Amino acid sequence: MLIKSIFTNSSGILVSRILGFVRDLLTASILGANIYSDIFFVAFKLPNLFRRIFAEGAFTQAFIPSYAKSKHKIRFSSVIFLQLIGFLIILSLFVTLFSTLITKAIAIGFDAKTVDLAAPLVAINFYYLPLIFIVTFMAALLQYKHHFATTAFSTALLNLALIAALLISKDLGKYEITYYLSYGVLIGGFLQVIVHLIAIKKKNLCKIFTFKKHEKKEENRFYKSFMGATLGSSTSHLSAFLDTWLASFLVSGSISYLYYANRVFQLPLALFAIATSTALFPMIARAIKNKDEDRALHLMRKSSLILFGLLGLATIIGIVFNKQIVWLLFERGAFSAEDTQNTALILTMYLIGLLPYGIAKIFSLWLYAKEQQFLAAKISMKSLAWNIVFSLILIIPYEAAGLAFASTISGFILFFLTIKAFGFTKFNELLKK
């Protein structure tokens, strides 16, 4: 079941990434690189950031262990759903009312005219957040039932909706295209909700709404875990922001080199590490809830060995063929051979840290399943702090490559601290089995 689930998640991620690449090519071809593409990317940036921090990582990490331990699962899940969806709808309405102020805050460099163009798009795109929360909530229920296919492949629906929006609007004005894209985001969200509703119905999980009295204890336990998970999930995004900010002080092109190299680095991380952790987490949470730690440890050992082989192979291939990979993906048009050389070096710096980042992700699941989200967050924050220190040390002598290697060093620190929290003795026993 574990290997099948990993394969399902990996396949879904791969399909989504391929469609995402097609979407990027069409966006560049039809919309171009100008003020109109900038305002759309800014408009989609805010809900996408919230989605990555809250909806995808933090919610699932907090919800599944709490749901597994809940004595009244339907009652608990419906209370959490109604509270959070209510909050997100109110937040979306607030963004609509104050879209101009919010646009100014997230795009400081925009002049007044550009802010006026972007503000309506910011308001439209933000409604993707409540939609994707509904998807994430239903996905967590399906994951608990060991059903991954719907969520894995539904991520491609957003890309399909955006591709359709681009093709339909390709002969219109640039600003009109941004509206089509914005409504395409919402249509993609609705499509994801619909396919999850169908899956929920098939799994007989539709009874999520109730108005009976509920236990505050379970609810409080979830929100405590959710806060910790949110803090932990935000560190990787803060790290990426830090790299971009520091790279802005370097020579022109440094930000792009980091961006393109990180895009390649994220592919094996998503295909293997994220796919494995998504499949593994509900199984570990259920095993720990049933006080069957031996099964949880067996699953972690099996997953770690699979992941070690896959990420190890990806690391070797990526480092040996770094120039060829970058050339194949990016070297066309304004992207020169020198750009390929610089990006390939940075890709190598990132790939050195692929294994520790991936394996740390597996062992952090133990902490999340034990509802030790604040401990996991503390570890992530320490890793981020060291990332900042090494970034400042390495940026002057090695420039963008130094920033990438600082991220890799922080990955090794994250791995060490995660294994320390898991237990060195337990980890050694796991390796000897």
Tens-place pLDDT, residues 346-400:
999 999 999 999 999 899 888 888 878 788 888 988 998 999 999 999 999 998 8
Task: Assess contact for 358 and 413: CB atoms under 8 A.
Answer: no
Distance separating alpha carbons of residues 153 and 26, to the nearest angstrom? 21
Distances (CA, A) of 410 to 122, 208, 256, 391, 414: 34, 41, 21, 10, 6
Residue 324 makes CB contacts below 8 A (sequence gap 6+) with none
Q: Which among 193, 183, 55 is positioned nearest to 125, based on CA atoms?
A: 183
Q: Which among 145, 185, 193 is positioned nearest to 164, based on CA atoms?
A: 185
**Over 70: is that where the pLDDT of 217 sits?**
no
Any idea of the CA torsion for 88, 94, 97, 98, to the nearest 10 degrees? Answer: -120
**Over 60: is that where the pLDDT of 33 sits?**
no
Looking at residue 34, its pLDDT comes to: 65
> What is the CA 33 to chain-centroid distance, rounded?
25
State the distance between the two ends of the chain, measured CA to CA, in whole angstroms.
21
Between CA 345 and CA 350, with CA 349 as vertex, the angle to 5 degrees is 115
Looking at residue 43, its pLDDT comes to: 80
Widest distance between CA atoms in the chain: 65
The larger pLDDT score, comparing residue 48 to residue 325, is at 325
Task: Assess contact for 342 and 327: CB atoms under 8 A.
Answer: no
Mean pLDDT of 298-326: 93
Residue labelled with tokens 């093709």: 167
Looking at residue 428, its pLDDT comes to: 86
**Over 60: is that where the pLDDT of 208 sits?**
no
Mean pLDDT of 203-218: 60
Domain boundaries, given as residue ranges, for the chain:
1-214, 229-433
Say if pTM beats, i.e. exceeds, 0.85.
Answer: no
Looking at residue 267, its pLDDT comes to: 86
**Over 60: is that where the pLDDT of 252 sits?**
yes
- Identify the burial level of 195 via C-beta atoms within 10 angstroms of its C-beta, where 0-12 means exposed, 13-18 middle and 19 or more buried: middle
